[in-house]
Amino acid sequence: MHNGRTIVSFEDVTDRNGAEALKGTVLEIDADEARPLDDDEYWDHDLIGCTVATLDGTVIGVVDDVVQQPSGSLLSVGTHLIPLVKEIVRSVDPARIVIDPPEGLLDA
């Protein structure tokens, strides 16, 4: 890790031009080779498909995507973008995400 970003290297890529040629390439690894996650970390693919509900049980929808932004991750739930931060996302389990949205977050 360097400045919050993952740095990788490849045996056959020895210069900047070779590295730039890989821009936009999707890298994949087997799940058993992934690093262990901290308690408050999640793989994007594990969140997609989870039901999102408020503390009072009101279902907002299902996570369509996880949008990565420089400021952090956002859960895409229908027309809503919900910041994936502790102040809003109160719990995550394999099928359900419980949120405590601030006023106005879920307004149309």
pLDDT digits 0-9 by tens, 30-55: 988 888 888 888 889 999 999 999 99
Domain boundaries, the chain: 16-99
pLDDT of residue 63: 97
- Burial class, 61, CB count within 10 angstroms (exposed 0-12 / middle 13-18 / buried 19+): middle
pLDDT digits 0-9 by tens, 63-91: 999 999 988 999 999 999 999 999 999 99
Mean pLDDT value across residues 57-63: 96
pLDDT of 108 > 80? The answer is: no
From the candidate CATH numbers 1.20.1440.80, 3.30.565.10, 2.30.30.240, 3.40.1160.10, the one assigned to the domain spanning 16-99 = 2.30.30.240
pLDDT of residue 29: 86
